[in-house]
Amino acid sequence: METENDKSSNKIQEQATTSTPSNPVQEDKKLGLNGRLAFAIAAAALGSSFQHGYNTGVVNAPQQLIEDWISNLKMNRTGQVTKQSEVTMIWSIAVSIFCVGGMIGGSLVGSIADRFGRKGGLLINNILVVLTVIFEGCAKTAKSYEMIIIGRFLIGINAGLNAGLAPMYLSEISPIHLRGAVGTVYQLVITMSILVSQILGLEQILGTAEQWPLLLCLTIVPAIFQVIALPFCPESPKYLLVTRGKDMEAQRALAWLRGTIEVHDEMEEMRTEYESVKLVPKVTLKELFVNSTLRIPLIIALMVMFAQQLSGINAVMFFSTKIFMMAQLDKNAAQNATLGVGAMNVLMTFISLILVERAGRKTLMLIGFSGMFIDTALLAICLAFAETSRAAAYFSIVLVIMFVVLFATGPGSIPWFLVSELFNQSARPAATSVAIAVNWTANFIVSIGFLPLQEALGAYVFIIFAALQAFFVFFIYKKVPETKNKTMEEISSMFRQISYQ
């Protein structure tokens, strides 16, 4: 075994010394971003993370319109005036069941990824988008708010699956030095799609009593794009080799993605991983928790997922329009300011895409959470005095924008792809399933618990988020490793060393 490795490493060394000087341009092309890789990234990310972001944000603008429709519909059914509390309950179920679907979808990621592949899973998942559009699009005509609830549940399952499958595919098709930047694309498309849903939901566009079903149905557009574009792209080379054992197919897929046949180094690295994976049985959920070399990265993955959702980002985004109205902005100006916050979120996520390969994952998360801790503590104080002090009200606006900026620098994007970096091919699907399910569970807890807490504590509800952020800063500083430019074997050996200490 030792001599075989020596031979293969000598062969790689010979190829490196002969091909690099003779054709440096081709070497750069092999390592960098090319047209085919960019096309595969767009096909995977646009069709998947768009569903996640769009369906998170699309229900905010037409909320009052749909609530009025539900109220009238229920009154026509019963012949009695509908209580507002009943309408609020139905609407809360319709909104929060999206997260319940996300939990279920997240927990299915591992089995779908192994059975159908990353690309295959993403394509099959679009069936749920079609079903969603049928239910949500026909709800008004059929006079059934239950159809909206079913549609929201189905698109939640779709988003939960996408949240695991897309970052996994993106991570596995990327060169090592671009892995973080490509992984950030998932969050970038989420922020863009939230902004698109906010713009389309304006009263001047589709936020009307007649047009809101169309607003919900536009989620079909990126699904159509993905179904057309993704079949032209190859399956993940790592999946083909390490999970399926198809060496030639994996090499062809990698050559297509890199735009060159000079992929020997990457193939050797994947073959090494394949040989090590063959020596151990397939990782089960039980083994993730029992095996210390897997349990340590699993705890880290779960904590960064909790950190992302319990940071308070959803609460701040939800509360932003109200904060702007506290600062004496009228309704239209407050909505425009909220759109500005969404645009800032997109811009800063794009900047983090550039920074993540320079500053590193751990550094960006520490900067983001530390800044958010200070920002959230100040926001709680300013909101307490916002109604009596104009200065405090205006400062609240600045703090909301700063919160979004800090979240987008790292905490918003890094957790999605960090899970794929922490585990080898055999453990990655199972670990991703657990991590994504936990992320959606935390999302559900915040969406259900924030309003009651806000009513009970007022502005001081943000003190809870500040305390959680302080804890996450400490955890990230102590426990989260830097994975920038590290191979899977280097990351795995690092956790083996920690578990033996």
Q: Is residue 323 part of a domain?
A: yes
Task: Please state, as a whole number, how many other Cβ atoms lie within 10 Å of the Cβ of residue 376.
Answer: 25
CA angle 115, 117, 122 (to 5 degrees): 110
**Are 202 and 70 within one domain?**
yes
Residue 332 burial class via C-beta count within 10 angstroms: exposed 0-12, middle 13-18, buried 19 and up: exposed
**Are 301 and 225 within one domain?**
no
What is the reported pLDDT for 16?
38
**Are 195 and 298 within one domain?**
no
Q: What are phi and psi of 202, to 5 degrees?
A: -65, 150
Q: Are 473 and 366 in contact (CB under 8 A)?
A: yes
Average pLDDT (318-340) is 76
Q: Is residue 28 part of a domain?
A: no
CATH assignment at residue 207: 1.20.1250.20
**Are 316 and 461 within one domain?**
yes
Cβ neighbors of 444 (< 8 A, separation 6 or more) are 96, 99, 100, 102, 103
What is the reported pLDDT for 9?
39
From residue 398, alpha-carbon distances to 324, 379, 383, 403 in Å are 10, 9, 12, 9
What is the reported pLDDT for 31?
52
Q: Is residue 289 part of a domain?
A: yes
Distance between CA atoms of 176 and 486, rounded to whole angstroms?
A: 7
Q: Note the pLDDT tens digit of each residue in 82-114.
A: 898 899 889 888 988 999 999 999 999 999 999
Does residue 337 have a pLDDT over 90?
no
Q: Note the pLDDT tens digit of each residue in 340-370.
A: 888 999 999 999 988 988 888 999 999 999 9
Domain tally for the chain?
2
> Of 201, 233, 265, which residue is a domain's last?
233
**Secondary structure letter of residue 177 according to DSSP:** G
Q: Are 52 and 190 in contact (CB under 8 A)?
A: yes
Q: Is residue 25 part of a domain?
A: no
Q: What is the pTM of this model?
A: 0.86
From residue 87, alpha-carbon distances to 61, 66, 74, 80, 214 in Å are 17, 10, 9, 13, 22
Return the residue matching tokens 């394509």: 123
What is the reported pLDDT for 85?
87
Average pLDDT (400-428) is 90
Q: Are 358 and 181 in contact (CB under 8 A)?
A: no
Cβ neighbors of 114 (< 8 A, separation 6 or more) are 243, 429
**Are 228 and 295 within one domain?**
no
Q: Note the pLDDT tens digit of each residue in 173-193.
A: 999 889 889 989 999 999 999
Average pLDDT, the chain: 87
What is the reported pLDDT for 20?
37
Q: Are 74 and 268 in contact (CB under 8 A)?
A: no
**Are 187 and 327 within one domain?**
no
Range of the domain at 474: 283-500
* pLDDT more than 90, % of the chain: 55
Query: pLDDT: is 30 or 49 the higher one?
Result: 49
Lowest mean pLDDT among 11-15, 145-149, 188-192: 11-15
Q: Is residue 100 part of a domain?
A: yes
Distance between CA atoms of 113 and 106, rounded to whole angstroms?
A: 11
Residues in the chain: 501
Type of residue found at 365: M
Residue 291 φ/ψ region, left for φ over 0, alpha for ψ in the -120 to 50 degree band, beta for the rest: beta
Q: Is residue 264 part of a domain?
A: no
Q: Is residue 16 part of a domain?
A: no
**Are 168 and 304 within one domain?**
no
Q: Note the pLDDT tens digit of each residue in 472-490.
A: 999 999 999 988 888 777 8
**Are 327 and 403 within one domain?**
yes
Q: Note the pLDDT tens digit of each residue in 239-288.
A: 999 889 999 999 999 999 999 998 998 999 899 888 887 777 678 888 88
Distance between CA atoms of 444 and 105, rounded to whole angstroms?
A: 14
**Are 76 and 207 within one domain?**
yes
**Pick from 109, 430, 473: nearest CA to 297:** 430
Give the containing element (helix H, strand E) for 331.
helix 331-359
Q: Is residue 23 part of a domain?
A: no
> Of 207, 233, 259, which residue is a domain's last?
233
DSSP 3-state assignment of 122? helix
Distance between CA atoms of 235 and 120, rounded to whole angstroms?
A: 8
What is the reported pLDDT for 453?
84
